Structure 1
Amino acid sequence: MKKWTYCIFLTYLMLGIYVLAIAIKTPFISLTLDTTNGQAAIMDSYYTSWAHQKNIERGDIVLAIDGQPALENRSVRLFSLIRSAKQLTIQKTDGTIQTIDVKHIDMPEELYLQILFPIFYFLLAFGVAIYLWQRNKDNPPTFLLTLFLLTCSLAYISTGASARGNLIGQIVIGLCIILCMVLFIHFLQHFFRYLQIKWAYIDSKWLYFSSLVIPGCYFLEGFIPSFREITPLLNLGIFAILVLYAIYILLTSYLRTKLAKIRLIAIAFIIPFLPFLIFFVTPEILGNKPLLHADIAALFLLFIPFSFLFIQVNERLFDIEYQLSRLRYYSTLAFFSALLLTTGIALLFMGQLSVVHVTSIFLLVFMVMMASFYIKERIDFKYRKIIFSSTGNYVHNLYAAVQRMGKAKNQQELLERFKFEITEKLGTTAFLIRTVTEDTPAPMLGSYYTKLLLHDAGDEKIMLEIKHTLQKEELLWLELLALYVSMSINNLQQIEDLVLEVQHMKNTSDTPLPWLDKLLWNIIEKEKSILAQELHDTILQEQLHLARELDVLAGTPIIQRDTILDIREQLLNATKDLREYCENLSPPLLDTFGLQIALKKLIQKVKIRADFLVSSQIERVEFQDATLHLVVYRLVQELLNNAIKHANATEVSLTLRAIPQGFILQYEDNGVGCDIEDLIQSSASMGINGIRERVRAFNGDITIQSRHNEGMHIFIQIQEDGDSYDEHTYYR
């Protein structure tokens, strides 16, 4: 996957640089000509203000384009159109001849819409794609989302090269506007599986054939020139059908499920593509004049990187409400700031800027400010310890205070730590924590007391009273910390009650507590049942078989030495199996030599008894929590046992990689695979469910992908700090 990803990014950079270089090399002018009289007479100009500025009028004769005769130009011969030029030689109606140098700076619309905006989009899309890929390297939906973003970018930045008649630019834009839609629908199909929503639409793999139509049309143009008129319409037609189909999928699925995640994706897709479809594509297909030129209608595509930056699929979407609130907040700030700045620029250059100029400036400023806000947020978070003082950074201090107070072992120690935090943070000792036995009276008018309830036990209340003027941030900090103290006191009292109850049971030798007895009994019986089943299916059966052989041997007059040695060998094998069970219950190598050696020994044993090849890459991992070593060992053990019992594979791959404060465990086989939903319902799912429950217990993340006859792929990630992704299982 990494090699393919690098190739894709490299291809994107090479094609992007090439089509942008074509656009930068020669200015786009689009002069419509009349060549019926054997002369290239100007009929119309795409940039009327530029033509007026250069004194180019209807009826002028174009004699030469970049020093070459006008009628020898390929675009003039085929389409009666001058697409681009650096220099024009024109004969006026009065017979005078003038030479016009064409520059990008003379046509601001062309400079912004075909040079600056595409360059900005090119870099922005590449940056967002790298960001998504780094966060979710092994996630197929995110990979498809990245490809969608890159193909949209290529389609947009190729408009300049295509408009100039460059064949590669035309092929790139024709292929990418179709391929981006297919990739988006393919992404939706994967995402629906993640949401466990039935995909009731066409399998996306069949849609990829539609992207082959355009290269085929360009191939036929070499033999059938009339295809030059059919290809653009066919291209736009397929694009329109795919856009409408994607909108249909999003709307029908949202109406069926009412999921906010689908609503977010629908908004992020419809806003950029629907205006382009309505204002340009549809009129063009119907043979009418587009309501907006292609380069202007395509400006809406600039919203795609910002929209889909929020749709990150590594087993989840972002917290949507939180992300939408950030988007609304930053959008509001950016909108009004861009509006004020654009208004100021328009007033400063009154009469010199067209509506297109002003709109372009507004969009550019808006997007730059949006990106700046998000970049500032990341920089502020990274350097928060530098730009905020220890007394002003209340959020960071609250987290640190909770960490310190969480080490308290009883209520008295908790309250002492709470007092210390107040003294250190607020810089005052004018407060009191006391227990009251009656309702707290309302504070007297004019009093400086701030009163907070820390604990309410009915007849008794623990109150914090502080005679100190508090700022808003200080009061919020104190209220949040008091809330934590209140919950901690409740938890500590419950623990103390349980401890006292158990201690009382021990001292009085009374009947054990029912709940404790039931819990311990269930745990012990469950483990005994598992062990009994394993011993019954293996060693016990072997012992019964040996007992029958001894019965037969006892009835024979002559005891053969070979038979005795064979029975002895079987007894040794049974003893060896029993020793392995004991090692599995408590792996001795794990404590003696560490996790890496223990896993390698386990894999060696599996290689001996399994009928498949095992390839492994086990890195050295270290954890602060010693139980995680046993967790990793049990996960690997269960995965390999599952492969032996159910996979029917010929090759099994196992990789253990260390990451900051955790590990990643990847398992793959080429076995029979399964339907995950059917597996969960069957008895064979005990191993898989055991793995899932073990991962969930440590706030980990597990991905299971499998289909019939396509093997099984399992991805597990656990981090000690609890910052791993939300728990889920993604089924493919």
Structure 2
Amino acid sequence: MAMNREVIVIIGAFVVAVYLTVLNVTYPLIGIDVVEKKNGDVVVSGVYEFGWAEQHGVRPNDRVIKINGKHPRFHNTVKKYHVIEQAKTITIQRRNQVQTLRVDMKSHGVAQWAYYILLPTIFFVFTIRFSIFLLRLRPHDKSAIVLIYFLLLMGLCYVSASLSAKYEPIGRQLFNGIFLALPTVFLHFVYKYFEKEKKVWFAKTTVFFLYGLNVSLVFALLTAPFHSIDETNVLLLACLINMSSVFTLLAKGWKKLQGDALQHTIKGIVFAISSSTIPFLFFYSFPMLVMKKWILPAELTVIFLFALPTVFFYLMATDQLFQLPFSIGRLKYLGLFALFPSFFIMIVYNQWIRRSSKWAELVVLFSVVYIIVLATFYIKEWLDRKWRAKLRMQKHFYEESLYRISEQLKKQRTVEGAMYCLEKELQEILDVEKIEVIQSINEPLSFEYNQAHWANIVKKINGAPLSIGRVMEHRSLFVVFIGSFHETSLWLVGKKKRPLSFRTEQKDWLSTIVYYTSMTIENMLKVEELLKELDRLKETEHSISFTRLMFQWSERERKKLAIDLHDTLLQDLILLRRKVENLLVQPLYVEDIQKQLNDIEEEILDVIDVTREICHELRPPFLSQMGLKQAISQLIARFHLRTNIKVKWNVHIQAKLGEEQELAMYRIIQELLNNAVKHSQASTIQLVLDAQDEAVQLCYVDDGVGIEMEKLNDHHDNLGLFGIKERVQGLGGTCKIASSHGSGLEITVTIPL
């Protein structure tokens, strides 16, 4: 529904623009100011440079005898505004000569068509095409919708501006309303866009206040009696006030978003509105209010409006605004940006260098200028690629440096190591004399420096928000904020060998490399905090659940590894064995080859057995298929095959064990047997597993060398027993260990059901 509404708005704007264009074509801008003498004569007091009258020889002090066959004082625009517009015939008397001039479409000059019809029409087509493009890609984005309204209003404002100059009632009132509303609508778009990004810096009430103020002003202009106010001056003054508000708020946003991801967006928006409006404000509006005379005519200054949609399109194409999913060919991209400078150069040339009244000459002029501008853009891109390729051949190319330090930072385990890598890379890449890291900008530096230069940098730091990687420099000194870690700030301070400012690519590289280092340090500290937190959890009441979780995770990893081994290595070996079997049945092989193949088969069988045993140890399949007792039987059988230790075992399971308890008991027995082989030097092991209604209990006894109880808590020397205790505690059970050196080992494990 919302999209349908916007489509209706676009269609409505198009219909209005067509109607206004028809009116524009009907009447040229005559451009005659008149004054009525005491004797009743109407005399020309001024002739506008770009008007029809200037081109047809009307001069100041000419007497106007008739307009449309009637006395001039009865003509509507003369009576209300003291100008001659919307006339079909004008009778002029100069000295004793009387001349009747016909004002019609044939008498339109080239300048009239260019300034009042062609350029406004092209601009409106540009804005309406832009609006459709934006609506198609962002139909539900409120900020995009407001921007569409702004673009359409700006196009209608340009089209209706010439009608306002011609004092056509509908066009003039429409222009007044749009002209006053445009700055506020633009500010509304800025608010909506940055509100969506949660970075807005001014209140919504500011926008509504400006809306209300401008609506009141439009109403005052509509209801004010003729000649009671100077309408043009009111509009120009209101425009200056509105734009001052816009620029003030944008300046605050620029300052607030320094170092933010949106800083390029706000800069682009500021550039767009500045480049499109400042020529009109400074070369027409302000001089007209102060000196009653423009420096540049409005017809020339409004051409800069083309810059606004052009810059906005650039911001969208470079993902700095809206991040739209679209692509555009290189020729279309450069061709679009070549339009505005081509129009501007053509008009300036025609206006001040060589004025032409023939359309053919203007078309040729525009074509030549457009081709030159387009070729210039292409040559610039070619040179950029060429020099960029040469830069890549340099020893210390910045991208290679970023890769190099990122590899070095990955190997660091301390903050000091990371800072050493950073300082070393800076010394190698930049032309610097000294580098050091400080914790406060107020602490003295270890090297000699200019106090005034340092004071200037400190002033910049205190006057701007901190952002990681921001480069601040003054003459030979520079400072980069690395970050705040555990309430400690780190600053990189350096002294250049020459007092030259960093180039843009150097600043970008320096910001990026410092940001890399900052992230590395932050991650180091987070890992360190995490390890401390894990140690703390082991000592608290959360230890049981934590340990249980760790063993569950371990079992999942074992299961995954067992499946991978079974599905890859084991299957490959089985397939290899089958191939060897096929070779053995071939009668063509001689006896020695068959013997070798028999040996290969035996080796493969051994590998298969070992692999299968590893899989069983990683994830015993018997637990879910045969039960715990059978799994233990298989485990002890394999144990007897590889050791000389005798195991006496007995299993009594009279209660239902959960999968977790079964797996835990199997793992504990497995670990006890492995531990016996490695450390106990035992000849006999006794195992008794008893599962009753409330608990399952395992008793282990061997006749080995035992263990000194005071060394039991040494995790490194007794990792197996420590793991058993952790696993049992994770299930809420107990593990009692009794032993002394030379008297064997006795372990009792109890796990509740």
TM-score range, shorter chain: 0.3 to 0.5
Whose Rg is larger? 2
Q: TM-score, normalised by structure 1?
A: 0.46
- Taking structure 2 as the reference length, the TM-score comes to 0.45
